Amino acid sequence: MDNDEHLDIKAKMAMHQMTTDQKDIDEFNNLGSKNFGIKDVLQAFVPFALLLISTRFVDFETETFYVVLAIVAVSSFVQGMVRVESIKVNRRIDLLLKIIKQEYKQKNT
């Protein structure tokens, strides 16, 4: 293998590493999409379904029902917000750790 082929291989490896690193950095910067999955939708609506089912077995006064409905609605909304932020933070932490490991590896080579 001559020197030109060796340099060409090193350049291709460096380019591949740079594109991989850039993809990770782009993903890190673009995290935070508002995509909801089936699980997230179910977690938001199951408390409402349970409340409606419970009205079949328990007689609620109208005011009490509205208070409980408001509490369930607010708690579902807050739970959804916390879930979305938790997912974003966890993904960012994982990706940041990956980027740090790559930087460390590059400095040692």
In this prediction, residue 35 has a pLDDT band, given cuts at 50, 70 and 90, of low
Report yes or no on 13 lying in a domain.
no
First to last CA, the chain: 22
Report yes or no on 80 lying in a domain.
yes
Report yes or no on 21 lying in a domain.
no
Structure tokens at 102: 């790559």
Domain span at 76? 31-108
Q: What is the pTM of this model?
A: 0.52
Q: How many domains does the chain have?
A: 1
Position 8 pLDDT exceeds 60: yes
Report yes or no on 12 lying in a domain.
no
Report yes or no on 65 lying in a domain.
yes
Report yes or no on 98 lying in a domain.
yes
Nearest to 33, CA basis, from 71, 74, 78, 87:
87
pLDDT digits (tens, 9 = 90+) for 9-25: 888 888 888 888 788 77
pLDDT digits (tens, 9 = 90+) for 80-91: 888 888 888 888
